[in-house]
């Protein structure tokens, strides 16, 4: 799922990670491997957010690649693994 700037901000307020900017040189390769997503790096590896329903009011952080080395410079792709992190995009009243 590609997120807008507000959704990225909401995700980062609920998930300890870093968004990869759309203009980063690695983005074409990531899109080729994993599809059109907003990508986030954290201590575990590379993640995307998948919507939980058609309204996309919430999304689950899904890990798609783990760090392959202790220097955190190489990623090892694997089957998508949903995490326990559910991001709420809409503000509660």
> pLDDT (tens digit, 9 = 90+) per residue, 3-38?
999 999 999 999 999 999 999 999 999 999 999 999
| Residue 16 neighbours by CB under 8 Å, 6+ apart | 42, 43
Any domain includes 93: no
d(CA 68, CA 50): 23
DSSP state of 26: T
pTM for the whole thing? Answer: 0.92
Task: Calculate what percentage of the chain has a pLDDT beyond 70.
Answer: 97
Query: Looking at the 3D structure of the chain, how many domains does it have?
Result: 1
Q: Does 90 or 25 have the greater pLDDT score?
A: 25
Any domain includes 59: yes
What pLDDT sits at residue 92?
59
Rounded alpha-carbon distances, angstroms, from residue 6 to 12, 13, 56, 65: 10, 11, 13, 25
Any domain includes 70: yes
Domain region containing 67: 5-88
């Amino acid at each position: 799922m590609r997120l807008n700037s507000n959704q990225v901000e909401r995700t980062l307020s609920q998930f300890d990670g870093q968004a990869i900017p759309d203009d980063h040189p690695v983005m074409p390769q990531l899109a080729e491997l994993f599809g059109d997503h907003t990508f986030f790096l954290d201590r575990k590896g590379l993640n995307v957010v998948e919507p939980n329903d058609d309204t996309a009011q919430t999304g689950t952080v899904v890990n798609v690649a783990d760090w392959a080395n202790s220097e955190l410079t190489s990623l090892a792709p694997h089957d998508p693994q949903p995490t326990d992190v559910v991001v709420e995009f809409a503000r509660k009243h």
